[in-house]
Amino acid sequence: MDPADEARRAIAAAMARHAGEACLTCSFQAEDMVVLHMAREFESRLPVLFLETGYHFPETIAYRDEMAQRWGLNLINLEARLSRQEQEQQFGVLYQTDPNRCCRLRKVEPLMEGLEPYRLWITGLRREQSPTRRDLKVEEEQRLPSGKRIVKLNPLAAWTWKEVLAYAAVHEIPLLPLYEQGYTSIGCAPCTAKPADPTNPRSGRWGGTKLECGIHTFGREE
């Protein structure tokens, strides 16, 4: 079966089971744009959750706003309880001294709270992205801190980067301009560099000290 058809079927089936209770997290990287393009075929007003950490590249924010307007997205910006300025006043520059805590405060906690209203969480994760994702399943169970369990759908789990780019090209999806500068995995600006290891797209994240922020490792049922 064509990978795109297979992904669409997975999305359609999951969204039918959880009608009105689905959301999609979007970092506005290529994979997320592909899966968002597919999911919108089945629910045009699907809630699109974006983690507004306060540390994004200006290019990411500009691209987010452009695509949200162009596609008429039901965009929900999730923010930490503390603003960037409040966090730095209380704890200093955590992305330099304690990046795990910074990710927890600005990403993990806001997302886990933001997922509470939903039963289905759709992502653009792929096994090829990182060694930490090599066992990724198309459908998993996610446990939220409240104890609630929801379905986590990764319809592009088996896709290659070439397949992502091919789909984007066929469907004329413009990509985040930072890819043209050599970035392969794009998160918060202070913690994102061009890849140190060409075989590992996420090797430019967090200065090579870690590969995950925690939002895709917290509460996952194996």
Q: Which phi-psi region, left, alpha or beta, contains residue 65 (left: φ > 0; alpha: ψ -120 to 50)? A: alpha
138 has pLDDT over 90:
yes
Instruction: Output the pTM of the full model.
Output: 0.90
The SS3 assignment for 211 reads coil
Instruction: Give the per-residue pLDDT at 222.
Output: 35
If you average pLDDT over residues 142-164, what whole number do you get?
96
In the chain, domain spans: 3-221
186 has pLDDT over 60:
yes
Beta bridge partners of 149: 143
Which tokens go with 221?
A: 């049922």
Q: Which of the pair, 169 or 206, is modelled with greater confidence?
A: 169
Q: Which residues participate in catalysis according to the annotation? A: 213
What does 11-45 look like in DSSP terms, one character per residue? Answer: HHHHHHHTTT-EEEE--SSHHHHHHHHHHTTT-TT
Instruction: Give the per-residue pLDDT at 211.
Output: 54
Residue among 189, 205, 212, 191 at smallest CA distance from 104? 212
Which tokens go with 222?
A: 């194996």
Q: Is the dihedral of CA 60, 125, 150, 219 positive or negative?
A: negative
Q: Which of the pair, 201 or 175, is modelled with greater confidence?
A: 175
Residue among 222, 199, 196 at smallest CA distance from 209? 196
Q: Which of the pair, 218 or 53, is modelled with greater confidence?
A: 53
Instruction: Give the per-residue pLDDT at 135.
Output: 86
Which tokens go with 16?
A: 């039918």
Are the C-beta atoms of 39 and 15 separated by less than 8 Å? Answer: yes
Q: Which CATH class is domain 3-221?
A: alpha beta
210 has pLDDT over 60:
no
Are the C-beta atoms of 76 and 117 separated by less than 8 Å? Answer: no
If you average pLDDT over residues 36-48, what whole number do you get?
97
If you average pLDDT over residues 7-34, what whole number do you get?
97
Instruction: Give the per-residue pLDDT at 128.
Output: 87
If you average pLDDT over residues 33-40, what whole number do you get?
98
pLDDT category, 219, cuts 50, 70, 90?
A: very low
Which tokens go with 71?
A: 């596609």
Instruction: Give the per-residue pLDDT at 213.
Output: 61
The SS3 assignment for 150 reads strand
Dist CA 92 CA 85 (whole Å): 9
